[in-house]
Amino acid sequence: MRFLVLGILLFLPALAQEGRYAFGRILALEEGKAEVQVEGRLLEALLPTDGGGYRVGDRVVVYLEGERAYVTEPDRLPWLGGLLFLFALLAVLLGRGKGVRGLLGTFLSLLVVVYFVVPRVAAGGDPLLYALLGSLGVLLLTLYLVHGVNPKTTAALAGTFFSVGAVLLLARLFVGGMGFTGLASEEALLLRQWGGVDLLALYLAGVAVGALGALTDVAITQAAVVQALSRANPGLGLWELYRRGMEVGYDHIGSLVNTLVLAYAAGALPLFLLLTKDPTPLPVLLNTEPFAAEIAAMVLGSLGLLLAVPFTTFLAAWAFRGGRGGGEKEPPHFH
């Protein structure tokens, strides 16, 4: 959700300003200011009021406004680049061919979000519509690219879309009942000031897209389990395949619901910390939109997982009943 909101902010018209940003390196430090080398010239730049903890040699971002310069942040891009390189290296070494295709699918998915979803929402389009269309593009790119065009992948894709649709229907019902406005974060408040974005639809889109990764994971796993069972015993019928596949599905429900809840809880940690600082009674705090919106997103995403397991298992059992289906031979994806 926050990634989508921040992306929209980048595409909205910037506030009028005369300055610009540049990258530089600190050569010397004094009280409240630093000598910074920026684009081949030396500048005297003001430091944040707390000093920022900068040291000589640090790479920083500098805001240039006329004859004045301000150190705004450390230059984190080299560290981010190193972290991404480590992730890509391990994905290729450990995932081999599928790791490479997974990286390519991730890159294409980001292109869909950045160049299709975000610009259209920023231009006033329906966030829910374009988020769903973008999700369809992402799933088609990633699932079929990584796992191939076969009955297993198609069953996983259908299971994921069914679950996302169910989450959105439930979200519309309960969000309307709770009277949400979409103003549950600082980013949403800023978007409201600039206008042109349906914040409630953006919240609903964030709920659906936020659960998409976990839904895809459990769906492809359940389809792979049923495929393996069918190959091991081609005589198994629809309901026997479903029953045996659900034996693994129950474990997935237990583990992935916990994973999704923790993922949402980690994102809401600053809000939860307010519980220890704010004298407001707990029921009143939980009733406020920031808290209620995080809890609703957490529960709705978990409901999607609960629905994805049996539906995907049934579709896969129908596709592979009696030894039907085909595709590559591979072990099931157990967690």
The angle subtended at Cα 329 by Cα 326 and Cα 330, nearest 5°, is 130
| Same domain assignment for residues 28 and 168 | no
The CATH number given to whatever domain includes residue 70 is: 2.40.50.140
> Residue 71: which domain range?
2-10+20-75
- The answer to whether residue 282 sits within a structural domain is yes
Domain boundary among 60, 75, 90: 75
Quick one: 239 exposed, middle or buried, by C-beta within 10 A (0-12, 13-18, 19+)? Answer: exposed
Compute the distance between CA of residue 99 and CA of residue 95 in angstroms, rounded to an integer.
Answer: 4
Please indicate, yes or no, whether residues 181 and 64 belong to a single structural domain of this protein. Answer: no
Q: What is the pLDDT of residue 161?
A: 85
Gap between the Cα atoms of 100 and 106, Å rounded: 10
Low-confidence ranges of the chain (pLDDT < 50): 6, 8-9, 11-17, 327-335
* Termini Cα distance of the chain: 26
Domain check: are 161 and 303 in the same one?
Answer: yes
Give the model's pLDDT for residue 14: 43
Map 97-138 to HEC letters: HHHHHHHHHHHHHHHHHHHHHHHHHHCCCCHHHHHHHHHHHH
Q: How far apart are CA 292 and CA 298, in angstroms?
A: 10
Q: What pLDDT does 116 receive? A: 80
- The pLDDT assigned to 13 comes to 47
Pair 153, 259 in one domain: yes
Kindly state whether residues 119 and 227 are assigned to the same domain: yes
Say if residue 54 is in the same domain as residue 145.
no
Are residues 65 and 105 located together in one domain of the fold? no
For residue 72, which of 144, 136, 24 has the smallest C-alpha distance? 24
Report if residue 156 sits inside a domain. Answer: yes
Specify the number of domains making up the chain.
2
Q: Is residue 171 part of a domain?
A: yes
Query: Token pair of 122, please?
Result: 């920023």
pTM to 2 decimals? 0.69
- Do 55 and 198 belong together in one domain? no
93 in any annotated domain: no
Shared-domain flag, residues 120 and 250: yes
Q: Give a yes or no: residue 265 inside a domain.
A: yes
Query: In this structure, are 260 and 144 located in the same domain?
Result: yes
With respect to residue 90, please indicate whether it lies within any of the assigned structural domains: no
Asked if residue 81 belongs to a domain, the reply is no
How far apart CA 77 and CA 79 sit, in angstroms, is 5
- Do both 56 and 199 map to the same domain? no
